[in-house]
Structure 1
């Protein structure tokens, strides 16, 4: 079987990882062998390769944190899904591979008639978007939320989830070429970032109030969306795509009462009960399986093409997610 393996980290993510062939293992007691159907490359995966993410696996490691596959075999005296069943893979098992050996108890059966490639992206970005919409501000129908990096995976899910709740979105991107693609997702307003963003947002929302701002960029972009918040609004940061620390003016924090908070899905998983986790994934599975929640796919690559795939995922010009789809 093939695995995308890395033994070091470095500033150019595609340079540290490569495809290696290893013998396909037989599952032991309690284990399951799963053939990977699809696994995405997320920004957190790229940062893991460069060593900049908040939680790093020990080396050597196999890339990939989420994905779906079909059960090939169960180990002796092991209960689990039936052979050929589509399953959600456990987080962090190294999904950029043709096959994975996992704890059979952690496999979650998925509806076989659903789009497996869409389900492969379910574990990280959709719950991040849903929880940021739900956990920080009690948004009501007709309220406004602003986000930057709106053309990202999380951004696309957030637009769709907000629309289902009757919440309006202001969506900020860093290049004009990204505007049309975000509009196609159902965005109410799409604007290119800049120092005068708050003036253009006020014109767009009229008498509406922006109560929640979601920042994935950091640097000056954080203050740009903080400036757009209503007095007493909340800004949630979940990323640093600019590579720069968040900048928020004291005028926003002191005089306008803006609250700044952070969100990391891994930390939420640590604190959430099994019931809370089942509830979130139950909602998302239903929405994705019925086609109500979708993400754009920019490209599909085999494990042998892992260097090209990582380079494409690290590029800022793509429109959609990069998937590893083993042949």
Structure 2
């Protein structure tokens, strides 16, 4: 058994993490042992390794924040789970491992479905869903604009918007990303640039776009802000450019555009259990039924964790990198 462990953080994420032997303690009466089937490498995981994320675990630490596994052993007091059952792993439990142990009450049973798709359910899909739901009262037929549309969150947002009857303008940073975004059901796909607002107006028939979703920062934020209608809301959830958000005063002063931020970790802290269950109940059904999917670029065993992290940190991927220990 192996675990992907790091004892320090540094600017090159793959240099600080290694696959090392894993030993698990004796199983407690209220615990379950789980064989990890799949766990994604998210941008937040890479930023955690470099020390740039907003919440950092104490060192040494095991990588991975979400995934799915198969129950292999149950403590004597566990009655609601069965051996062989597929379960959602607890958020932040160090999921880049061959096996893990957790309190059985923290494991959520999952319906039958593609384990790789279900493994990506905890972070990116709720981020996309909540940004669509929480900031603007959108109605069927309304338009939403987003950048980083070829990212995992971007792909989920396109699909969720279509399910809700919304239309999407999807902005990417390179021509080579256009076809893949169109294949996910995007209504409009445009390459970013200073004239983006003009091209958005042409492509949508000057539609009033109430909601913008920004993951890039820098000048890209301003391009989205200038594409929004009077009183529009722009939500930032990332800084892929490495630059602070830039917005012209013209958007704030003359069109009353609002810039807000979203971080899923804060939503988890504030949301009630009922609110969380509602969100994950909706997403579980969509993913298990194949109505909501994410592209997968490649899968790596734990022995190749350095290569996996390097691939996740690199640009110009067409899909998610997964750790598949078995």
Q: TM-score, normalized by length of structure 2?
A: 0.99
- Does the residue aligned with 1:310 lie in a helix, a strand or coil? helix
Tell me the residue number matched to 1:249.
248
- For 1:218-257, what aligned pairs fall within 5 Å after superposition? 218-257=217-256
- Does the residue aligned with 2:144 lie in a helix, a strand or coil? strand
Q: How far apart, in 2, do the equivalents of 1:60 and 1:219 lie?
A: 34
Tell me the residue number matched to 1:35.
35
Residue 103 (structure 1) shift: 1.3
- Does the residue aligned with 1:9 lie in a helix, a strand or coil? coil
Q: How far apart, in 2, do the equivalents of 1:126 and 1:79 lie?
A: 30
Tell me the residue number matched to 2:180.
181
Tell me the residue number matched to 1:209.
208
Tell me the residue number matched to 1:140.
139
Offset from partner CA, 1:63-88 (integer Å, 9 cap, x none): 00000000111223333410010000
Match status 1:14 vs 2:46: no
Aligned residue-pair number: 326
Residue 29 (structure 1) shift: 2.4
Tell me the residue number matched to 1:101.
101
Residue 26 (structure 1) shift: 2.9
Q: How far apart, in 2, do the equivalents of 1:131 and 1:73 lie?
A: 35
Tell me the residue number matched to 1:87.
87
Q: How far apart, in 1, do the equivalents of 2:176 and 2:287 lie?
A: 27
- Does the residue aligned with 1:210 lie in a helix, a strand or coil? coil
Q: How far apart, in 2, do the equivalents of 1:300 and 1:27 lie?
A: 29
Residue 32 (structure 1) shift: 1.3
- Does the residue aligned with 1:323 lie in a helix, a strand or coil? strand
Q: How far apart, in 1, do the equivalents of 2:140 and 2:147 lie?
A: 21
- Name stretches of at least 5 consecutive residues in structure 2 with no aligned partner: none
Decide whether the 8 Å contact of 1:74 with 1:80 is kept in 2: no
Task: Flag the 1:151–1:161 CA change in 2: closer, same or farther, 3 A.
Answer: same
Q: How far apart, in 2, do the equivalents of 1:80 and 1:303 lie?
A: 30
Tell me the residue number matched to 2:122.
123
- For 1:169-318, what aligned pairs fall within 5 Å after superposition? 169-318=168-317
Decide whether the 8 Å contact of 1:26 with 1:33 is kept in 2: no
Q: How far apart, in 1, do the equivalents of 2:271 and 2:162 lie?
A: 26
Residue 27 (structure 1) shift: 1.3
Residue 28 (structure 1) shift: 1.4
Residue 30 (structure 1) shift: 1.8
Tell me the residue number matched to 1:44.
44
Decide whether the 8 Å contact of 1:30 with 1:103 is kept in 2: yes
Tell me the residue number matched to 1:159.
158
- Does the residue aligned with 1:44 lie in a helix, a strand or coil? helix
Q: How far apart, in 2, do the equivalents of 1:267 and 1:12 lie?
A: 27
Residue 60 (structure 1) shift: 0.4
Q: How far apart, in 1, do the equivalents of 2:206 and 2:149 lie?
A: 23
Decide whether the 8 Å contact of 1:40 with 1:323 is kept in 2: yes
Q: TM-score, normalized by length of structure 1?
A: 0.98
Q: How far apart, in 2, do the equivalents of 1:13 and 1:209 lie?
A: 42
- Does the residue aligned with 2:19 lie in a helix, a strand or coil? strand
Output the aligned Cα RMSD: 0.9
- Name stretches of at least 5 consecutive residues in structure 1 with no aligned partner: none
Q: How far apart, in 2, do the equivalents of 1:207 and 1:220 lie?
A: 22
